[in-house]
Amino acid sequence: MHELAITEGLVDAVTERLPGQRVTCVRLEIGALSGVVADSVRFCFDLVTEGTDLDGAALEISQSPAFCRCRVCGGDFEPDGPLVLCPCGSAEVTVLTGQDLKITSVQVA
């Protein structure tokens, strides 16, 4: 379950950046191709934040769409699943966006 390690990393990043501040809300953006399951992050968040400055903070997750560029036909397309395949049939694609997971904002009390 790699979401646990990811969530720990996020919580560490927030507490390092905002030491001693009471965090009330964390907003996350998860790319469609990041392989991270939002529900798992939510579950881990409650465990990881217990006893930290983020204890009881709300977690808002939004999914950001992925975009890929085909190296054969040059077209950009939005993959509709974990299988990245251009409408032209090529799997020779470069992922432009959608593999990242980032904190978009943090609210403090």
Residue 11 binding Zn ion, by CB under 5 A = no
Among 5, 13, 47, 88, binds Zn ion (CB under 5 A): 88
d(CA 54, CA 47): 11
Taking the CA atoms of residue 55, residue 17, residue 14 and residue 25 in that order, the dihedral angle to the nearest 10 degrees is 70
> What DSSP state is assigned to residue 83?
S
For 51, the token pair is: 């006893």
Residue 54 binding Zn ion, by CB under 5 A = no
Residue 32 binding Zn ion, by CB under 5 A = no
| Sign of the CA dihedral with 61 first, then 30, 44, and 19 last | negative
Site for Zn ion in 61-80 (CB under 5 A): 70, 72-73
Least separation in angstroms between CB 40 and Zn ion: 32
For 85, the token pair is: 């395949």
Residue 107 binding Zn ion, by CB under 5 A = no
Among 10, 68, 86, 101, binds Zn ion (CB under 5 A): 86
Binding site for Zn ion (CB under 5 A): 70, 72-73, 86, 88, 90
